[in-house]
């Protein structure tokens, strides 16, 4: 007779211990996953915080830039008559921007038909084109037409007392800076502020308009 019980009892005790070890391994794995998930969540929060700080800094810089151009007397036309037939657009929920580096300041913007946008931009570009070289040389931290055109569009919407800004912004490729706008069908069009031309859709991706970065400035 075995001193610590029967062979059957010992086998059962061994089996119970092996089962408990398996349960402990599962608990340890779950605990490790929980710690990993928590660490990843904290890392994501930190990244979101840094992204938000960066976006706020960009917004602050553009706000200062708008103020300088406004105080300097940048001419913006009255386009109020063209701004009535709008649709509300939320770029945050638009999947076509996956893969682009995005800065979106406001939650919602106004879109217009391509023809309406063309008219609006023609009016604005016509009035600011003679001033653009002067603003670029005089305003610090501004080295391209896209910043000035974007500012002029935003100021025109402010002048018209619109509740939201237009879905118009600044785009960057690796070699060039330009603008873009969104129409009623959520098509994103590339706009060249230096000559007032529409160069095609964002998805065309033809150099130098092979876009990598988009900025919706509010």
Alpha helix positions (H), 73-144: 114-128, 132-138
Nearest C-alpha neighbor of 4 from the set 14, 15, 17: 14
pLDDT at res. 140: 38
Q: Provide mean pLDDT across the span 54-71.
A: 69
Residue 100 has pLDDT above 60, yes or no: yes
Average pLDDT score over the chain: 84
Give the H or E element holding residue 159: helix 145-159
CA dist 18 and 16 (Å) reads 5
Residue 1 has pLDDT above 50, yes or no: no
Rounded to two decimals, the pTM is 0.69
**Token pair of 143, please?**
């080295």
pLDDT at res. 50: 79
Contact by Cβ (8 Å): 205, 173: no
* Residue 101 or 16, more confident: 101
pLDDT-derived band at 10 (thresholds 50, 70, 90) equals confident
Q: Report the DSSP beta bridge partners of residue 101.
A: 213
pLDDT at res. 142: 38
CA distances from 73 to 63, 90, 127, 149, 206 (A): 16, 32, 12, 14, 36
Domains of the chain, each with CATH number or no CATH: 55-216 (3.30.460.70)
Residue 5 has pLDDT above 60, yes or no: no
Q: Provide mean pLDDT across the span 26-41.
A: 84
73 torsion bin: left (phi>0), alpha (psi -120 to 50), beta (else): left
pLDDT-derived band at 135 (thresholds 50, 70, 90) equals low
């Amino acid at each position: 007779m075995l001193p610590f019980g029967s062979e059957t009892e010992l086998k059962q005790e061994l089996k119970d211990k092996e089962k408990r070890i398996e349960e402990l391994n599962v608990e340890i794995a779950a605990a490790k996953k929980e710690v990993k998930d928590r660490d990843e969540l904290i890392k994501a929060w930190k990244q979101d915080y840094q992204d938000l700080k960066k976006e706020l800094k960009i917004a602050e810089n553009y706000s200062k830039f708008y103020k300088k151009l406004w105080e300097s007397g940048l001419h913006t036309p009255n386009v109020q008559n063209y701004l009535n037939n709008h649709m509300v657009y939320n770029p945050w929920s638009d999947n076509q921007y996956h893969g682009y580096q995005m800065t979106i300041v406001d939650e919602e913007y106004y879109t217009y038909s391509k023809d309406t946008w063309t008219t609006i931009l023609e009016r604005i570009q016509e009035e600011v084109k003679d001033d653009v070289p002067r603003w670029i040389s005089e305003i610090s931290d501004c080295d391209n037409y896209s910043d000035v055109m974007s500012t002029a569009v935003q100021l025109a919407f402010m002048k018209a007392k619109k509740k939201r800004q237009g879905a118009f912004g600044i785009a960057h490729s690796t070699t060039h800076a330009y603008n873009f706008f969104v129409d009623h069908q959520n098509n994103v069009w590339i706009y060249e502020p230096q000559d007032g031309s529409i160069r095609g859709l964002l998805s065309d991706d033809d150099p130098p308009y092979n876009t990598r970065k988009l900025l919706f400035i509010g």
